[in-house]
Every structure is written in structure tokens, then in C-alpha cells.
């Protein structure tokens, strides 16, 4: 590396990075660079989440594109000595690729990134989210300048032609939404960014706001110009302190640079944005509840048979879009509608960001072209299921989505296909489950979430989901009755038809899809009182296999309930009445002598 | 004007009218619980669901709450279709599980042939169906905002702030008046007007003529502050007021002479 003039070191510094200790490694490396008088030669900065959360804390070196994973502060001396001073790679810090099983030096050779199309997330790896200059150098605010020279109609036309659809889940055509708001009577008009991301296991919007806040901001400003709005809001949950901090700084910097505020870039157009911090109610991600919350009312949905584009916030025409939708706008303005619509399928254009989590080797933030197969996401990008377990289901669309089984893995990821299969695109959460996951428990988990987050305003969601949850609980405890499955199906359909808002209207989806694809598992619980995945504690029993147990006494020592009897070197036994089914004996036994029946 | 049909009957009403009002004009009965003509549509109880479709929807239809759906040209509305009855029965099954003792719900359940206890909810039975009429009348009309919803989901309740005695309640009783199940009661005990669920008790003002307590002093003061002077008539109980009105009318048509009031 001696022959390189300047080295750029990028630390992945999203919430995931910080949680894994990236900050201490970052400071240690900075310190070490200073000690070695390398400050002139090395530029070190903290970017947003670079996407490969499973490798955090991770760092990349440019122009060599070296990637080091799982760093600890003790590694920095070696990094400086070997990599920065001698230009050698530190073998032990390199990442072993899951596909090739080889140590990978360059980021470009990491299989995880190969099938991705990182249009929105690209800059997350290279820019300092706290510096507007970084964003500008990477081409930021070029789209705004271009847009201000166009007529609002031209902008809306480009967005319409691009085929961009709302990334919050419902997939409403963005250009059409803007057009309706533009044509609607009433002043002032409002622009809102929905950053109330609340699905379990979802962190896409958070990562974008943390890593590239200006891209979202630029999208909003362009829309405001096109629609004719002077006031915007971003509704972001208070549980995202880093996102709020980065976006606040971005707002300040944009104002200083005349991208925001009065007479933007010397034109007649003025627009500003306020940050509204949500209190954490999941239902506030629903558009009418979100608006009520901004207005200072209780965050509850209201009956809306008039579109928000006509009567939204304060009963004025309002455009509400998701974080990812906004971030797409500058790219479309810069590269054109044709470029955007060349990615994806016939009706779902562009890329989609997913947070890939659960029983998957490579957890992280991925961006893929619409139409990619679920199988490619799970195996080629996600690296399959850990521990050689069998894949069972993938849950898309969060608590409103559904669980899709193995036979759906060749479905293309687009709005229509996922809906047809009983799930939905949702806002981008993707949870992978393996053979150890009981589908009754999965349905119960999601329904517990929606039931808990139901605002309680309308009867079907408030009482209906509660009754459904009680039935599911009974099934998981071995108290399920003949006819419960049919009752659950009927109730699901009725709740979907009669609920006030989309939370209630989609809450039964996980139940419906798990019944649709895993009916036999429900039946085993009800008829045979057995949990095939052995997850429902009431339906399982731990047993020590007499012919395998060698009396190593380890289970005896570890059982917190003192439910195991037996002398060392003699066969042990479990007293079932005392056993709480915590599974510690199963985990500690080195001879597979503990079995679950 | 907007032209459409409800249960195969053609109707023409002013734009902005809700389906429920239009149906009433045709004499079609749609049950309601959380609706009150003096308040904004709320659409929470879901009992007034109707099925709507249009010729252009190619056979697709959906359920909407009639209390909040504004009329549209060419809309085809069914208030008694199989889909509607099924949904209405479901809502009643849920409500009767919540309020097994409520006469209002029991009567409705009987009318729609819903067997009691189809479902069981494992929490304390109550008569409150959370329709929110009390909360809305207090906020929208009386503008005192004494009560609000607290908690969420199945834990939702109507309460005063922190469930403590209210310092803004005037015990006007509008909440009790609109409550469809009669959970909220207004009681006059020992010279005081009491609304138990809001922990509020206020001294009664005595009629200037007969001496009967008829309004809380707080409510009287508020009326005096808010209303244009209407003389001391406000200090009389409704009965004495009526008597006085027949003797010497409070107001009379312009041009009418004294003694011939209305």
C-alpha cells in the first residue's frame, strides 16, 4: 500500500455497527493512525450502515477495497503496521465467503454483494452522513438543481413514467399520488415522510436515514416543488435517535446551503421540513393515524373515504411517502424514467431494500432488483440457513404480511406475486425461519404484536384479534379443539373485511398464510397434541436416552430446576414434574443423549 | 345532487350526504351504535357496515361504514346482503362477548339472531362498548374535554386524566345522555350531582322559585358565561321555567304584543 497516495477507510457506523462496538474500534484506529503520523496519508470516516450487519464491526479500505470483519480494538495495531504501513492484508481479519469458503480480500468478491443492485444504499458505504459536502461530491442535490429548471408537470411526468410505486407496503403509484395532490384544491399543501418503521425485524428506513439522510431530504424537496408545497414533515419514531440526529444535522446543512428554506437556490420556491418524533405506537405508521399524531391528536386511524391527496394533514392536500420512496426520487430525476423502469418487472420497477433477518447466515440490509427470486435472496445473498438446518418459511411484509414456504421460493419478489401468495411486499422486513420454528408459534408471535399494537378503536380489531390470539394460545398449549382452524380462517376473513384501518385489515395475514401452507402443523397440535417443530413447550417433553447417556453429569450440574437425577457415570433421568422445559440439558449434552419428544 | 341506489331503490341526495342519512330518507333501517347525528362520523363500532359496488367495478364489492361514507354517483348500495348480514352478525358476536349483560347489545343480538356467547373473552364483562360517544360529545359539543380514551387494544378504556376526579367536568350529563348502553349515569344525591365513572361530584344549584336542585353551580356559571343574557330564567328549574314562560313569554315574535308569546 506504500505506492498508494491516499487511503480512505470507511467504518460501518449504523446502529448495528455501534451496537457491535464499532465506535471503540474507530477511535482506537484513529488514535493509532495519529501515533504513526499517518494522518496526512489516511482519511478515516464513519459511514452509515454498509449493509453486511452480520460482519459488524466492519471496515473497508479504498482504493484497495479490502474488507475486514468482526474487529476489536486490539486489532488496530496490526492493521496499521501491516495494512497501512506495509501494504499487506491481515489474513485473520479477512472475511470467509459463505459460497466459496475462501478468504475474501476485496469487497467486490463478496458473494453477499454480488447479486445486489445497490442504487439507494451505495452511498451508505462511502459518505459521511454528517457532511453535506460528501453528499454533494457524490452527485447530491444535482437532481434538485435539475428539477428546479423543469416544470412541476414535467417532474410528475418523469415519476409517473418511471413506474415508481410506494415503498411503504401498499405500492400505490407515486407519480399518480403527486399528480392528485397537485390538482387538489386547498392551500397549503403538505409533504410528509413516513419514517415510523415499526415492523419486528425491520431497519431499512432507519439505515437510510442514518447513512444517507440528504437523499431522503432531496427527494422531499423535489416533490414539494412538483406538488406546490411549502411545508414538509418527517414523522420518525423516537426509538431511532441516531436517525433523528443525522436528519436534524442534514436539515441544518441543507438550510445553510440554500437547498431548504426560503427561496431555494435563488428561486421563488420556498420549503422547509419539521421533524416530528413519534411516541412508538405501531399504528402511527398508518397514514390517518400518523396525520392525527402530527396534528397533536391521539394517534389513531380515522375512517377515510377521501384520499389524503385531497384531504390529508389538517384536511389539506397531502403527499405521504415512505423513506425509501423519497430516496428514489433524486436517482430517477438524475438518471431518467427509462433507466429506472429498466430495472424490475413489468409492474414493479426499481429496486427494493430488505432487512434480511432471522435464521439466515448473512443478516443485513440488502437491496435487490424487483423480480428477483426469494430463493436467490435467501441462498445466494443470505447464504442459506445456519447449522445445516432446513429452510421452512420466509415472512415478508412484517406483521401484516405472510409466511411463504419452500414451494414459494421461486416466486419473483414483486407487489403482485407476493400478494397473490397471501403475503405482501410490505415496507421491507424479511424474516427467515427454519425447521425449528413452529408455525403456530410464528402466527401467535405476530398476532400478539398486532393485538398489542391495536389502538382498540374498532370492534373487529380490538376484540377479534384478542379472541384469535386466545384460540392460537390454546392450540399451542394442547387445548386446541376440532374446528379451531376453520374458525380462525373465518374470523380472519371477517376481521380483514370489517376493520377500520389496514392494521386490523391485515393483522390476520400471518395466521391465514401459516394455515394455508402449514395446515398439517396446526392439525398435529390439535389432533395429536404434538408440536412437530418441538417449540411449543406444553406439547414437548425432554427425555434422556438410556442407551446413549454415559453419566457425564453435565446436565445434572446445569439444570436450574434440579430436575435431573443420577449419579456420575450412571444413566440420568429427568423428573418431568419439576422440568420447566428450558432446554439447557439438551444444549449442554455433548453426546446427544437428551432428546425432545 | 348525487344519484345512486340503495337496496335497488333509486335516490337523489345532496353531495356530501353520508350513506346512512340517505338510507334513512328511504326508510331503510341500518343499526348504529357509535353514531350520533350531532357529532362527526366516527366509524368505530362497524355495526352500520353496508356493501357497495359499481357497475364499473366488474363484480367487485367492499364493505364500508355507512355513517362515514359520502354518497357517490352510480353507487350501488346493499344494506342487507349476505355479506353485510354476516359481517353485522360477527360484530354483534364480538360485542356480546364483551358486553354479555348489556340490554342494548342483547336486543340487537336477538334482532339479528346472534346466539349469545359464541365467543368468550377472558376479561371482566362490561357494558361499555367503547363507541366513544361520551368522549366525542364532551369534546366536540360541550368542549370541556373531561374524558378521553386511555390504553390501547383490548385494554382501551374511557377515563378522566389519570382516572382522578375531574376539575373541568360540569356534570352536564351529555355523556350519560348519549351513552347507548347506559353505563354512564347521572345521579342527584344529597344536594349533589354525581357522575360516578368520572369521580365527579358537584353541588346543585337550587331553583329560585321552588328550591329544587336542578343544575350544578359549575354548569350554571358556564352557561351564564357563555350565553347572551337571558335574564334570571336560567336560574329556574325546567318546570318553573315552563310555567314562567306560559305566564310571561321569554321571547316573542317580532311585532307581537306582550302576553301573546310562544
Read out DSSP for chain B?
Answer: -EEEEETTEEEEE-TT-BHHHHHHHTT-----SS--TTS-----S-TTEEEEE-GGGTT--EEEETTTPBP-TT-EEESSSHHHHHHHHHHHHHHHHH-TT-HHHHHHHHHTTPPTTSS--SS---S-----HHHHIIIIIS-----EEES-GGG-EEESGGG---SS-----HHHHH-TT--S-EEEETTEEEEGGGTEEEEEEEPTTT--EEEEHHHHHHHHHHSPP-GGGGGS-HHHHHHHHHHS-S---TTPPTT---
Percent of chain A topping pLDDT 70: 99
pTM, 2 dp: 0.90
Residue A2 in this model has a pLDDT that exceeds 70 = no
Residue range A435-460: mean pLDDT, rounded: 95
The DSSP secondary-structure symbol of A140 reads T
B91 to A456: CB separation less than 8 angstroms, yes or no: no
A130/A240 same-domain check: yes
Backbone angles phi, psi at A65, to 5 degrees: 65, 25
pLDDT of residue B257: 56
B169 confidence band (pLDDT: 50, 70, 90): very high
pLDDT of residue A597: 83
Q: Is B168 on the interface with A (CB under 8 A)?
A: no
Q: How many residue pairs bridge chain A and chain B with CB atoms within 8 Å of each other? A: 100
B153 to A451: CB separation less than 8 angstroms, yes or no: yes
pLDDT of residue B251: 57
Q: Look at residue A457 and tell me if it is in a domain.
A: yes
The angle at the Cα of A60, spanning A58 to A65, to the nearest 5 degrees, equals 145
**Chain A closest-CA separation from residue B27 CA (Å):** 24
B153 to A302: CB separation less than 8 angstroms, yes or no: no
Q: Are A278 and A236 in contact (CB under 8 A)?
A: yes
Tell me the CA distances in angstroms from B176 to B138, B140, B170, B173, B218, one per residue in order.
10, 15, 13, 5, 18
Q: Is B91 on the interface with A (CB under 8 A)?
A: yes
Find the CB nearest A497 among B45, B87, B97. Answer: B87
Residue with cell 359520502: B70
- Residue A453 with chain B: CB contacts under 8 Å: 152-153
Q: Are A361 and A382 in contact (CB under 8 A)?
A: yes
Residue window 483-502, chain A: list those with CB within 8 Å of chain B.
491, 494, 497-500
Q: Look at residue A505 and tell me if it is in a domain.
A: yes
Out of A37-41, A349-353, B72-76, least confident range: A37-41
Q: Is B132 on the interface with A (CB under 8 A)?
A: yes
Domain end point (choices A109, A137, A166) = A109
A180: domain CATH number is 3.40.50.11540
Q: What is the dihedral of CA B106, B107, B113, B115, to 10 degrees?
A: 10
- Residue B87 with chain A: CB contacts under 8 Å: 494, 497-498
A337/A356 same-domain check: no
A398/A303 same-domain check: no
A311/A450 same-domain check: no
Domain end point (choices A405, A434, A463) = A434
Each residue's pLDDT tens digit, B89-140: 999 999 999 999 999 999 999 999 998 777 777 778 889 999 999 999 999 9
Q: How far apart are alpha carbons B170 and B158 in whole angstroms? A: 17
Q: How far apart are alpha carbons B72 and B49 in whole angstroms? A: 16
- Tally DSSP H helices, then E strands, for chain B: 7, 11
Residue window 251-270, chain A: list those with CB within 8 Å of chain B.
none
- Residue B83 with chain A: CB contacts under 8 Å: 497
pLDDT of residue A1: 44
Residue range B154-164: mean pLDDT, rounded: 94
β partners of residue A586: none
A458 to B44: CB separation less than 8 angstroms, yes or no: yes
A303 to B87: CB separation less than 8 angstroms, yes or no: no
**Chain B closest-CA separation from residue A502 CA (Å):** 13
- Residue A286 with chain B: CB contacts under 8 Å: none
pLDDT of residue B115: 83
Q: Which of A286, A288, A456 to mutate to test the interface with B (most CBs of B within 10 A)?
A: A456
pLDDT of residue A15: 87
pLDDT of residue B259: 47
In this structure, how many other beta carbons lie within 10 angstroms of the beta carbon of residue A203? Answer: 24
Q: How far apart are alpha carbons B242 and B246 in whole angstroms? A: 6
pLDDT of residue B262: 37
All cell numbers assigned to B176: 350519560
A216/A321 same-domain check: yes
Q: Look at residue A28 and tell me if it is in a domain.
A: yes
Q: Look at residue A1 and tell me if it is in a domain.
A: no
Each residue's pLDDT tens digit, A572-595: 999 999 999 988 999 999 999 999
- Among residues A21, A17, A22, the alpha carbon closest in space to that of A53 is found at A17
- Among residues A498, A500, A495, A423, the alpha carbon closest in space to that of A465 is found at A495
Whether cis (ω within 30° of 0) applies to the bond prior to A188 is yes
A100 confidence band (pLDDT: 50, 70, 90): confident
Each residue's pLDDT tens digit, A129-187: 999 999 999 999 999 999 999 999 999 999 999 999 999 888 999 999 999 999 999 99
Which run of H or of E encompasses A353? strand A351-358
pLDDT of residue B258: 52
Q: Are A200 and A447 in contact (CB under 8 A)?
A: no
B154 to A464: CB separation less than 8 angstroms, yes or no: no
**What mean pLDDT, rounded, does chain A reach?**
93
A183/A306 same-domain check: yes
A162/A243 same-domain check: yes
β partners of residue B216: B204
Q: How far apart are alpha carbons A59 and A70 in whole angstroms? A: 9
Residue range A349-355: mean pLDDT, rounded: 94
Residue range A409-421: mean pLDDT, rounded: 92
A418/A490 same-domain check: no
The DSSP secondary-structure symbol of A389 reads P
A458 to B153: CB separation less than 8 angstroms, yes or no: no
B154 to A454: CB separation less than 8 angstroms, yes or no: yes
A454/A412 same-domain check: no
Residue A328 in this model has a pLDDT that exceeds 70 = yes
Residue A249 in this model has a pLDDT that exceeds 50 = yes
Each residue's pLDDT tens digit, A512-557: 999 999 999 999 999 999 999 999 999 999 999 999 999 999 999 9
Q: Is B151 on the interface with A (CB under 8 A)?
A: yes
Q: Look at residue A134 and tell me if it is in a domain.
A: yes
Q: Look at residue A114 and tell me if it is in a domain.
A: no
A230/A303 same-domain check: yes
- Among residues A440, A402, A394, the alpha carbon closest in space to that of A421 is found at A402
Domain end point (choices A500, A528, A556) = A528
Percent of chain A topping pLDDT 90: 85
Q: Are A134 and A128 in contact (CB under 8 A)?
A: yes
Find the CB nearest B63 among A300, A453, A497. Answer: A497
- Sequence-distant (6+) residues with CB within 8 A of A174 are A159, A164, A165, A166, A321, A325
Query: A566: left (phi > 0), else alpha (psi -120 to 50), else beta?
Result: left
Q: Which of B34, B94, B105, B121 to mutate to test the interface with A (most CBs of A within 10 A)?
A: B94
Residue B261 in this model has a pLDDT that exceeds 90 = no
| Number of residues in chain B | 262
When computed from its CA atoms, the radius of gyration of chain A, rounded to whole angstroms, is 26
Range of the domain at A172: 125-341
A67: domain CATH number is 3.40.30.10
A490/A549 same-domain check: no
B95 to A281: CB separation less than 8 angstroms, yes or no: no
Nearest CA in chain A to B149: A298
Q: Are A324 and A204 in contact (CB under 8 A)?
A: yes
> Which residue stretches of B142-230 are H helix?
174-178, 217-226
Q: How far apart are alpha carbons A216 and A322 in whole angstroms? A: 9
Residue range B81-90: mean pLDDT, rounded: 96
Q: Is B69 on the interface with A (CB under 8 A)?
A: yes
pLDDT of residue B260: 42
The gap from C-alpha A30 to its chain's centroid, in whole angstroms, comes to 31
Find the CB nearest B154 among A460, A466, A499. Answer: A466
Residue A260 in this model has a pLDDT that exceeds 60 = yes
Residue with cell 410506494: A166
Amino acid at each position: 500500500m506504500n505506492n498508494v497516495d491516499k487511503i480512505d477507510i470507511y467504518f460501518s457506523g449504523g446502529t448495528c455497527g455501534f451496537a457491535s462496538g464499532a465506535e471503540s474500534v474507530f477511535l482506537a484506529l484513529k488514535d493509532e493512525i495519529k501515533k504513526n503520523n499517518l494522518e496526512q496519508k489516511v482519511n478515516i470516516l464513519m459511514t452509515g450502515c454498509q449493509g453486511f450487519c452480520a460482519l459488524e464491526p466492519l471496515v473497508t479500505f479504498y482504493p484497495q477495497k479490502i474488507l475486514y470483519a468482526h474487529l476489536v480494538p486490539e486489532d488496530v495495531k496490526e492493521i496499521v503496521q501491516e495494512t497501512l504501513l506495509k501494504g499487506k492484508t491481515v489474513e485473520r481479519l479477512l472475511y470467509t465467503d459463505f459460497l466459496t469458503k475462501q478468504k475474501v480480500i476485496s469487497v467486490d468478491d463478496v458473494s453477499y454483494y454480488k447479486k445486489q443492485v445497490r442504487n439507494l444504499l451505495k452511498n451508505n458505504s462511502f459518505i459521511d452522513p454528517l457532511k453535506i459536502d460528501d453528499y454533494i461530491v457524490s452527485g447530491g442535490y444535482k437532481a434538485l438543481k435539475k428539477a428546479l429548471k423543469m416544470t412541476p408537470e414535467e417532474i410528475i411526468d418523469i415519476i409517473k413514467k418511471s413506474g415508481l410505486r410506494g415503498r411503504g407496503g401498499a405500492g400505490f403509484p407515486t407519480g399518480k399520488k403527486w399528480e392528485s395532490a397537485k390538482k387538489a384544491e386547498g392551500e397549503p399543501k403538505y409533504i410528509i415522510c413516513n419514517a415510523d418503521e415499526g415492523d419486528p425485524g425491520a431497519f431499512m428506513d432507519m439505515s437510510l436515514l442514518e447513512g444517507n439522510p440528504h437523499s431522503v431530504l432531496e427527494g422531499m424537496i423535489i416533490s414539494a416543488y412538483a406538488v406546490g408545497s411549502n411545508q414538509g414533515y418527517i414523522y420518525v419514531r423516537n426509538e431511532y435517535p441516531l436517525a433523528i440526529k443525522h436528519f436534524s444535522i442534514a436539515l441544518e446543512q441543507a438550510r445553510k446551503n440554500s437547498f431548504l428554506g426560503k427561496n431555494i437556490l435563488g428561486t421563488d420556491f420556498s420549503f422547509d421540513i419539521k421533524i416530528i418524533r413519534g411516541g412508538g405506537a405501531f399504528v402511527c405508521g398508518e397514514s390517518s393515524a400518523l396525520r392525527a399524531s402530527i396534528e397533536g391528536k391521539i394517534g389513531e386511524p380515522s375512517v377515510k373515504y377521501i384520499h389524503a391527496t385531497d384531504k390529508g394533514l389538517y384536511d389539506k392536500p397531502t403527499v405521504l411517502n415512505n423513506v425509501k420512496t423519497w430516496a428514489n426520487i433524486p436517482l430517477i430525476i438524475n438518471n431518467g424514467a427509462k433507466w429506472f423502469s429498466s430495472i424490475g418487472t413489468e409492474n414493479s420497477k426499481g429496486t427494493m431494500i430488505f432487512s434480511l433477518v432471522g435464521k439466515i447466515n448473512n443478516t443485513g440490509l440488502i437491496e435487490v432488483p424487483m423480480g428477483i427470486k426469494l430463493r436467490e435472496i435467501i441462498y445466494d445473498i443470505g447464504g442459506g440457513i445456519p447449522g445445516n438446518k432446513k429452510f421452512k418459511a420466509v415472512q415478508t411484509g412484517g406483521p401484516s404480511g405472510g409466511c411463504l414456504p419452500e414451494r414459494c421460493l421461486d416466486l419473483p419478489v414483486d407487489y403482485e406475486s407476493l400478494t397473490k401468495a397471501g403475503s405482501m411486499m410490505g415496507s421491507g422486513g424479511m424474516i427467515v425461519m427454519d425447521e425449528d420454528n413452529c408455525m403456530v408459534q410464528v402466527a401467535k408471535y405476530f398476532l400478539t404484536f398486532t393485538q398489542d399494537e391495536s389502538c382498540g378503536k374498532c370492534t373487529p380489531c380490538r376484540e377479534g384479534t384478542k379472541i384469535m390470539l386466545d384460540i392460537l394460545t390454546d392450540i399451542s398449549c394442547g387445548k386446541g379443539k376440532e374446528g379451531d382452524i376453520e374458525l380462525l380462517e373465518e374470523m380472519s376473513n371477517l376481521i380483514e373485511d370489517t376493520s377500520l384501518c389496514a392494521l386490523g385489515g391485515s393483522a390476520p395475514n400471518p395466521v391465514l398464510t401459516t394455515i394455508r401452507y402449514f395446515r398439517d402443523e396446526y392439525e398435529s397440535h390439535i389432533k395429536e397434541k404434538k408440536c412437530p417443530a418441538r417449540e411449543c413447550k406444553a406439547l414437548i417433553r425432554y427425555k434422556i436416552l438410556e442407551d446413549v447417556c454415559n453419566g457425564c453429569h453435565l446436565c445434572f450440574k446445569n439444570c436450574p430446576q434440579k430436575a435431573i437425577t443420577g449419579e456420575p457415570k450412571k444413566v440420568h433421568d429427568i423428573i418431568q414434574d419439576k422440568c420447566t422445559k428450558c432446554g439447557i440439558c439438551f444444549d449442554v449434552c455433548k453426546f446427544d443423549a437428551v432428546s425432545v419428544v | 345532487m348525487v344519484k345512486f341506489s340503495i337496496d335497488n331503490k333509486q335516490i337523489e341526495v345532496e353531495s356530501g350526504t353520508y350513506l346512512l342519512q340517505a338510507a334513512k330518507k328511504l326508510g331503510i333501517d341500518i343499526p348504529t351504535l357509535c353514531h350520533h347525528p350531532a357529532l362527526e362520523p366516527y366509524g368505530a363500532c362497524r355495526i352500520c357496515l353496508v356493501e357497495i359496488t359499481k357497475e364499473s367495478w366488474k363484480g367487485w364489492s367492499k364493505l364500508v361504514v355507512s355513517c362515514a361514507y359520502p354518497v357517490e354517483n352510480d353507487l350501488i348500495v346493499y344494506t342487507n346482503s349476505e355479506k353485510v348480514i354476516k359481517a353485522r352478525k360477527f360484530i354483534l358476536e364480538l360485542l356480546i362477548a364483551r358486553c354479555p349483560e348489556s340490554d342494548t347489545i342483547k336486543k340487537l343480538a336477538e334482532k339479528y339472531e346472534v346466539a349469545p356467547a359464541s365467543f368468550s373473552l377472558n376479561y371482566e364483562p362490561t357494558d361499555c362498548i367503547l363507541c366513544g360517544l361520551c368522549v366525542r360529545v364532551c369534546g366536540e359539543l360541550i368542549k370541556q374535554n373531561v374524558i378521553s380514551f386511555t390504553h390501547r387494544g383490548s385494554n382501551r378504556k374511557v377515563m378522566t386524566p389519570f382516572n382522578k376526579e375531574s376539575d373541568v367536568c360540569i356534570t352536564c350529563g351529555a355523556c350519560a345522555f348519549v351513552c347507548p348502553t347506559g353505563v354512564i349515569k347521572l345521579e342527584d344525591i344529597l344536594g349533589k350531582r354525581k357522575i360516578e365513572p368520572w369521580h365527579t361530584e358537584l353541588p346543585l344549584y337550587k331553583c329560585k322559585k321552588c328550591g329544587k336542585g336542578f343544575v350544578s353551580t359549575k354548569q350554571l356559571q358556564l352557561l351564564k358565561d357563555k350565553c347572551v343574557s337571558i335574564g334570571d330564567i336560567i336560574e329556574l328549574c325546567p318546570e318553573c321555567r315552563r310555567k314562567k314562560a306560559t305566564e310571561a313569554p321569554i321571547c316573542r315574535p317580532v311585532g307581537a304584543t306582550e302576553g301573546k308569546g310562544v
